[in-house]
């Protein structure tokens, strides 16, 4: 067997072996989910929920290692930082901060992440939608003042 074939065989064997490494692609129970205006909810669901909620739609490529590892890691980190499926469980001051951070991330083009947008072009937030998100963040700030910190 030539050296080239041996290397190719090793790569194929590693790829096949990688498919047996378990990856958690579960969607935990939804808690006290965000409630907001329908047009804001639509933007959040389309552009944010796959990484920032317990209602992730796991695409076919999330079943193929090593991409599955990256996708599962992104979802895990996203949920850890901000999870819309537990929005009402955050303290009012945390909801205000998280809403503002979310808007800032979208505004500077950091969210949704570029690699996600490559395969999910419809997730891109346009100018009108960004204005909706800004108004939502303002509403969160106003609701904090109305209910006080939990």
49-104: pLDDT as tens digits: 999 999 999 999 999 999 999 999 999 999 999 999 999 999 999 999 999 999 99
Neighbouring CB atoms inside 10 A of 52's CB total 25
Residue 13 lies in a domain: no
For residue 32, pLDDT beyond 70: yes
Residue 8 lies in a domain: no
For residue 145, pLDDT beyond 80: no
Residue 4 lies in a domain: no
Angle made by CA atoms 31, 37, 39, in degrees to the nearest 5: 110
Residue 62 lies in a domain: yes
Residue 61 lies in a domain: yes
Place of tokens 């006290």: 32
Identify whether the C-beta of residue 85 lies closer than 8 Å to the C-beta of residue 54: yes
For residue 85, give its domain range: 24-147
Residue 91 lies in a domain: yes
Q: H helices then E strands: how many in the chain? A: 7, 0
- The tally of domains found in the chain comes to 1
User: Structure tokens of 137?
Assistant: 């963040």
Instruction: State the Cα–Cα distance between residues 39 and 50, nearest whole angstrom.
Output: 18
Angle made by CA atoms 41, 47, 49, in degrees to the nearest 5: 70
Residue 35 lies in a domain: yes
Residue 19 lies in a domain: no
């Amino acid at each position: 067997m030539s050296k080239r074939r041996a290397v190719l065989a090793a790569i194929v064997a590693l790829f096949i072996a990688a498919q047996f490494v378990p990856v958690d692609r579960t969607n935990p129970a939804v808690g006290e989910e965000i409630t907001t205006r329908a047009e804001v909810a639509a933007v959040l669901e389309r552009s944010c929920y796959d990484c920032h909620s317990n209602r992730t739609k796991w695409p076919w490529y999330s079943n193929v290692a090593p991409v599955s590892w990256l996708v599962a890691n992104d979802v895990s980190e996203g949920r850890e930082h901000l999870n819309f499926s537990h929005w009402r469980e955050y303290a009012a001051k945390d909801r205000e901060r998280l809403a503002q951070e979310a808007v800032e991330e979208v505004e500077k083009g950091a969210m949704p992440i570029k690699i996600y947008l490559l395969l999910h072009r419809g997730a891109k937030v346009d100018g009108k939608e960004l204005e909706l998100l800004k108004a939502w963040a303002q509403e969160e700030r106003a609701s904090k003042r109305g209910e006080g910190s939990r």
